[in-house]
Chains A and B, each alone.
Chain A
Amino acid sequence: GAVVSQHPSRVICKSGTSVKIECRSLDFQATTMFWYRQFPKQSLMLMATSNEGSKATYEQGVEKDKFLINHASLTLSTLTVTSAHPEDSSFYICSAKPSERVYEQYFGPGTRLTVT
């Protein structure tokens, strides 16, 4: 149980284009999902907290207009990187908190974004 999927696992896009990453909780409902960014050999950096049916809460320094988050259902959250630039290249990971749990988070497998 507690499986989270992400799609795509890898994506290469040209500078200036937009990329959408999907995060799905496969066997549980998740009122809250989180989006993280991870640089090589570093820890996870929280970008935003996504709550179903409401606007996402972004961490300080994260551009909300560049990283659009939508959490339209209890099993799906999407992250769209708009007007991507090479510096947006990174490993993006989502996590989901089961609605009935207070603390536990389960992570997806991650998406490797490369902007050329």
Chain B
Amino acid sequence: GENVEQHPSTLSVQEGDSAVIKCTYSDSASNYFPWYKQELGKGPQLIIDIRSNVGEKKDQRIAVTLNKTAKHFSLHITETQPEDSAVYFCAAHSGSARQLTFGSGTQLTVLP
């Protein structure tokens, strides 16, 4: 089955700097890659996603890149703000499995 690895597990950045979180996946059949933001005591919130036929997608300060050949995808947050502090999860969807496989999560802390 699919295996998703996520790095780093914790990340601290100064407000205004950029943050990058990376994930790798194992199943070459995976074709959908969402990113979720989870604040303490809340459910995950979908913040951006990308399909396998696209290499990059951007939404304001958030962007995701996908390298299908290397089987890795990354979340980029620019001009970070304290409210960006949360746990971020990447995931991969394999059509055959019909479910999402999640990474282990990254605790992002934006220092004021």
List residues of chain A with CB under 8 Å of any chain B CB.
2, 4, 6, 34, 41-44, 46, 49, 93, 95, 102-110, 112
- Report chain A residues within 8 Å CB of B89: 43-44
**Contact status A112-B41, CB under 8 Å:** yes
Q: Complex: how many Å from CA A80 to CA B34?
A: 29
Q: Does B46 contact A (CB under 8 A)?
A: yes
Choose among B34, B44, B45 the residue that contacts A44 (Cβ–Cβ < 8 A). B44
Interface of B is mostly: strand
Tell me whether A49 and B41 are in contact in the complex, defined as CB-CB below 8 angstroms, given that A103-B32, A103-B93 are known contacts.
no
List residues of chain B with CB under 8 Å of any chain A CB.
31-32, 34, 36, 41-46, 49, 89, 93, 95, 98-100, 102-105
Tell me whether A105 and B42 are in contact in the complex, defined as CB-CB below 8 angstroms, given that A43-B89, A43-B105 are known contacts.
no
Q: Complex: how many Å from CA A41 to CA B98?
A: 26
Q: Complex: how many Å from CA A41 to CA B95?
A: 28
Tell me whether A110 and B41 are in contact in the complex, defined as CB-CB below 8 angstroms, given that A44-B89, A103-B32 are known contacts.
yes
- Report chain B residues within 8 Å CB of A49: 98-99
**Contact status B100-A110, CB under 8 Å:** no
Chain A to chain B contacts (Cβ below 8 Å), 24 pairs: A2-B46, A41-B105, A42-B104, A42-B105, A43-B102, A43-B105, A44-B44, A44-B102, A46-B100, A49-B98, A49-B99, A95-B43, A103-B31, A103-B93, A104-B46, A104-B49, A105-B100, A106-B46, A107-B36, A107-B45, A107-B46, A109-B42, A110-B41, A110-B43
- Report chain B residues within 8 Å CB of A102: 32, 95
Q: How far is the CB of B108 from the nearest CB of chain A, in Å? A: 14
